[in-house]
Every structure is written in C-alpha cells, then in structure tokens.
Structure 1
Amino acid sequence: MAALDIEQVRKEFGRERVLKDVSLSIESGQFLILVGPSGCGKSTLMNAIAGLEPVTSGRILIDGEDVTHRTPAERDIAMVFQSYALYPSMTVRQNISFGLEMRKVPKAEREQAVERVADLLQISHLLKRKPAQLSGGQRQRVAMGRALAREPKVYLFDEPLSNLDAKLRVDMRTEIKKLHQRLGTTIVYVTHDQVEAMTLADKIAVMRDGHILQLGSPDEVYNNPVDMFVAGFMGSPSMNFIKATLEGGKGACQLRIATPEEADLVLPWPSARGADELAERAGQTVILGLRPEHFSEEDERLTSQAEGTLLTACVSVVEPTGADILLRLPLGQGEVTARVGPKCAITAGERLALRVDMDRAVLFDADSEHRIA
C-alpha cells in the first residue's frame, strides 16, 4: 500500500492539452475513482500514473517517491485493463504467474502466490483452463488475479467491468468492493459509470475537459456538488434543474418559478441555509437543483405530513422500476423526474400532490453554473 500524490500534471498531444494542471492526493489504502464523460482525460491520467504516457509537466509521487520519469516496471504498480489482456496460449495458472516469472521470483513463491489469489478470487478450479474456455466474468477475475499476485504499491483499474453484461457487472462490482475491504489496497479506478463510482469509492474525482472539478467522498460529491455539471453527472436519474427568480430580503427568501398556468409556483428557501447571503441576489435568475428523491408523495390519510412545500401537477409519464416509481411531471417551463414509493397508485394524466424537500435543495448561479447555496 502507498499514498499517491499528483502535482500539477499536464499532458499535451501536439497542440492539444488533454490534462490541465491536475492535482490530487489519496492516502494509503484508499479507493479513488476517476469519473467523467468520454474524452475528459481520465484514461490519460491513469496511463500517466502507470507510466504508459510521459507527462508534459508536473510530478507523480508514490509513497513519497517521485516516479514521474520512471518506467512502468520501476513504479511498482499493477494494472487491470478493460480488454483483460490475457495470453490466449497460456493456462490461467500461467497467466497469473507470468509477471512473477518475468521478475525472476522463485518457483515456490510463484506457486504460493497463484494459490493465494486463486483462493481469494474463487478461481482455483479454473487454473488448468485457457482464456477461451472462460466466461467474461472469469476472465476478469483472472486479470485481477494476475495483478493481485504481484502485491504492488498501487493497483490501477481501467474500466475493468465495461465489457460485462449488467448482472455480471453488479456481481463483479461487489467482489471488487469485498476485495478492497479484505486487502486494504490503494486503488485508482477509471469508469464512466457513476453507479460504480458511488458504490466503490472512498474518494471520487469528477473530471471534465482535462480538469478535476471536484474531489471528495461519494456523499460530498452527490449531496454537495460544486457546480451543475457535477450535480447532473452524479446520480441516476440525474438532478432536476429548474429556472427560478430569487425574491425577498434578509432572513426570508423565496424562489418564484414561472409556470404555463396562471399562478407562479413559489418555494420558500430555508432561513437556516444562508438566506441572508442570498438576499443580496434578490431579483436574480438562479437554477434550483432538486434530485428525484427530494419529492415525496402527499398522503391524505396521514395526520402529520412530511416537511416540505406542497405542489400539485399532472403526471405525464409513469415508469415503474420495481423498487420505486419514477414520475415525469411539469414544473416551471419544463419537466422534472420525481421518485416515489412502489405503492403510489397513479396513472399518466392524473394530478398528484407532492412535497418538495427544500432543506436538501441546492442553488446554482444561472451564468457561471457554480453552486451558491
């Protein structure tokens, strides 16, 4: 295990700057996930950490040692690729032990390492098979086993589950989580799947256009996004964004949302959440961010209702998912997604009363898209 520090790393391909002064640090034993849309630079950053791509400027330190100009073999890292990268002519046992053999590890130690990781990954019964005889999930376990046999300072995973079907991807995600909990290894993991990021990571780095927009725990990134891009990228379904006008004075702010109907919708902003500071923006257009779970169904049978502001709207689309129901309904000049319980008896075209939990809402500047509350 080792701490990883990336200091002002820049990577240029000709005139194109792919990484733009990226800096981040993770402690020994932490699980860091790099997420972002295609082309944001996350795989390039991973390759730079591995030594597969030389950086234009900046430093990479593993366990306090500057490895910026060292070869991949000198960095003491192990990498699991999206394509598995197994040798088709070798058995599972040979694939796992090959790296150790190249490092001239004694045969007895190699055999011991193979048995250890095979038992850990539950592939002992596959050791005599070749990759062509394995399923996608089994191949991925072998690729992981080859990395684990090395016991390096840092493990790098480059979208290792993207070639698997949905159910197997969930199963393998659980196995990777268990593996990290057992071994306490330092892991850097690249994915475009924000569900993987939320379930696996100790820290998430959200990237866009070669920059790290936010680095924090899954809870911080999800509940306290720094801007609209992070808020919209993390979460499924993504956060709803509603244009509103900020009104009021100190201690009593509200958001006025223009609607196609006669009366505007007015949502009070909680006084405990910086209402005094927001008063300086009175009259400005802002963007209200509400996640689907910030809506809850109003139940007239209950004597005491959940806290929040009540709104009613005509439901346009009902999407049952089993565990819950997603509703599409108009709010402001567009539509929003609300997540309600599976017992909500509603059909498209009916009106529904919902509570809005403004204590969990967030506000963004309409021009810069940065969070303001």
Structure 2
Amino acid sequence: MSTLEIRNVRKEFGSERVLKDVSISINSGDFLILVGPSGCGKSTLMNAIAGLEPVTSGHILIDGEDVTFNTPAERDIAMVFQSYALYPSMTVRQNISFGLEMRKVPKAEREASVERVADLLQITHLLERKPAQLSGGQRQRVAMGRALAREPKVYLFDEPLSNLDAKLRVDMRTEIKKLHQRLGTTIVYVTHDQVEAMTLADCIAVMRDGNILQLGSPDEVYNNPVDMFVAGFMGSPSMNFIRAMLEKEHDRYQLRIATPGETDLLLPWPENRVTADMAERLNQPVILGLRPEHFSEEDVRLTAQAEGTLLNANISVVEPTGADILLRLPLGEQEVTARVGPKCPVVAGTRLALRIDMEQAILFDAVSEQRIA
C-alpha cells in the first residue's frame, strides 16, 4: 500500500472557497476518515484526491509522487461510491472484472482476482446474479469487490454505508474493519456518521467549512478535542456544555454554576490540570464540557470522598437503551444528559445523587469556543 500527502489544497467554485488550504499526511496502510456535517467539504476533498475534481492550488502526493494534475486512471486509486454504481445489465462476476478487463488484464488473472475477492467478501454464491437480484448489503459488497480486485495504491470510500438500514450498516462496518485488518490497505473514507468514524479509523480529520479543525486518533479527537465543535460533534450523545464562572478560593480553582432558585453549584477544578493562563481568566465566564459518561450514580458510602463533585438533581426524562440508561436533568440554567448503568433504580420526576468526574472535564473559552484546559 501507499502513503498519501495532501499539501495546502484549496478549491474554489467561483468566489466560494470550499477547501481552505487543507493539509493531511497519512502512512501506508492507515485508515483515514474525513468526518463532518453536510457541506463541510469532505466529499470535495475526496473527489480532489481521486482526480475527479481539479484543485485550485496545492498538491496531492501518492507514495511521494505528485499526482495533482494526473487523471484518475493515472493515480491508481479505486473508489467505492454511496450509490454502488453497478452496471445493471452485467452479472456480479462481470461487474467485478470489468475494471480489470479495461486495463487489458489477461483473462486467467481476471478470473483469479474475481474468485479471490468473492471468497474474501463471501459473495461467491452471487457471482452469476445481476444487481437487481441483490439486497443493498450485497450490492455494497459487490462494489467493494470491484475496487478490491484491482489492488490499487489507495482505496477511497465515499459514504458507502449511508443507503443501508441501521443493522446492516453496523454489520458492514464490521466487515470493512475486518477487511482493513486483513489486507492492511490504505483507505480514505468519507462519512458524516461520527460512530463510523470512531469505530473504523486509525486517524480522523474533523472538517468544518472547508477547514481541518483536528487531525488525530479516535481517542485524541474524543478525549482531547481542540474546540467545542469537535467536542460536540464526536460522541453520541454529544458532550454537555454548561455555562460557568471560573473562581478561586483558598488557592483552589473552582467553577460556579448558577442554579436558579437553588444554591449555586461549586465544582472544584483538579489541581493537576491547572494551566498557566487560568489566572488571567478568573471571574470570567467559561464553558464546562462534560460527556454523559462523566456522571455516575453516587454511592452514599463515598459521599465524603466526593465532596464538591456531588449533584443532587431532579430527573426529567429517563431513556433506557438496554446497555445503559440516559437521563435528562437540569444543571445550572441548562439541561444535560447523563449516562448510568442499566440497573440504576431511577424514575422520571424523582431526585438522584450523581457524582461528576471532574478529572475528565474540559474547559472552553466562552467567546472563541477554543479549549482552555
């Protein structure tokens, strides 16, 4: 497989700049996922890598070779589309071998490649059928087989699972993961589904308005987001954002959360996570970021140890999901989501003591929305 480097790529459609000096570099065999909301530029970037869309400026290199002005055929890439793009009049066998035939690959070699990928994707029994006789998941396997038969330098997947139902999407996600682990292929994958991104990727590029906001491993973008957009986009349910005031008392930093009609909630900030510029932000508004799993059902025996991190709240909504329970509850002037165990004895309208794990909390600037600590 091959390395891929994108250097300061810019794409403009008239006066609209869709890609803004995007730079990404991935190693051979990496699984890169471009993720972001609709209109963020991820599909445009994918098309630029494939050579389907010329760039306004910048460079694209595959294995160190500048392919910016090469045709798609000259780049030696294979693409799997959202719409499958299968030829309806051809059998599965013919669809998979068509690209090889166009490249003048000898017949015996073509047949061997078809058998290889059919066995790999478990579609050998479908080789003589036509696309109309296949389910959505089977069609997607055929589209993947057509790409795999070629053994190109880079594979490109453009939202390949978005047309599938929820269960099939999960199943196909697992198959793609297994395929990558088995073949060690270099893959660039576009999706708007952050769960797909977290489960499949070695490296995630979070995009917004044509910019790369953060590039890193799934763990990095989830646990160390650079700003509120990344923090809110990655994770399901998304991160809770709570307005607070940064204060200091007895040489300890704390967050004051205004609670209408009740005593303000004071949350101590961990001493080991105090940053150099926090003193400049004293008595200024900040945004506290807490993921749903940063709340846990409080054990009364630990109340003394949890001083300052205990929240006693009225539960407004209870949402059992099977594996856990999602709770909606007020925190300050806003409502937040907490995730607790499936056996938590809670009923909507009752109060529950929850412990907040401040060691995992994140602070953001209230104006710029950039991460502070």
Q: TM-score w.r.t. structure 1 length?
A: 0.98
Q: Which residue of 2 aligns with 1:5?
A: 5
How many percent of aligned residue pairs carry the same amino acid? 85
Matches within 5 A, 1:137-286: 137-248=137-248, 252-274=252-274, 277-286=277-286
What amino acid maps onto 1:240 in structure 2? Answer: N
Distance 1:343 1:262 in 2: 29
Q: Following TM superposition, by how much is the alpha carbon of 1:101 offset from its aligned partner in structure 2, in angstroms?
A: 0.1
Q: Secondary structure at the match of 2:273?
A: coil
Change in 2 beyond 3 A, CA 1:32/1:228: same
What amino acid maps onto 2:6 in structure 1? Answer: I
Q: Which residue of 1 aligns with 2:339?
A: 339
- Which runs of 5 or more residues in structure 1 are unaligned? none
Q: Which residue of 2 aligns with 1:124?
A: 124
Q: CA RMSD in A?
A: 1.4
Distance 2:302 2:361 in 1: 24
Q: Following TM superposition, by how much is the alpha carbon of 1:280 offset from its aligned partner in structure 2, in angstroms?
A: 2.4
Q: Is the 8 A contact 1:202 1:218 kept in 2?
A: yes
Q: Is the 8 A contact 1:250 1:276 kept in 2?
A: no
Q: Is the 8 A contact 2:6 2:60 kept in 1?
A: yes
Distance 1:29 1:37 in 2: 26
Q: Secondary structure at the match of 1:272?
A: helix
Change in 2 beyond 3 A, CA 1:179/1:304: farther
Distance 1:183 1:34 in 2: 21
Q: Is the 8 A contact 2:303 2:310 kept in 1?
A: no
Q: Following TM superposition, by how much is the alpha carbon of 1:301 offset from its aligned partner in structure 2, in angstroms?
A: 6.1
Distance 2:308 2:87 in 1: 59
What amino acid maps onto 1:168 in structure 2? Answer: L
Q: Which residue of 2 aligns with 1:37?
A: 37
What amino acid maps onto 2:210 in structure 1? Answer: G
Deviations 1:334-363 (A, max 9, x none): 100000000011111100000000000000
Change in 2 beyond 3 A, CA 1:307/1:67: farther
Distance 2:54 2:307 in 1: 54
Change in 2 beyond 3 A, CA 1:198/1:306: farther
Q: Following TM superposition, by how much is the alpha carbon of 1:279 offset from its aligned partner in structure 2, in angstroms?
A: 2.3
Q: Secondary structure at the match of 2:195?
A: helix
Count residues in correspondence.
373
What amino acid maps onto 1:47 in structure 2? Answer: N
Q: Is the 8 A contact 1:318 1:327 kept in 2?
A: yes
Deviations 1:138-164 (A, max 9, x none): 000000000000000000000000000
Structure 1 runs of 4+ off > 4 angstroms? 301-308
Change in 2 beyond 3 A, CA 1:275/1:2: closer
Distance 1:305 1:117 in 2: 58
Q: Secondary structure at the match of 1:132?
A: helix
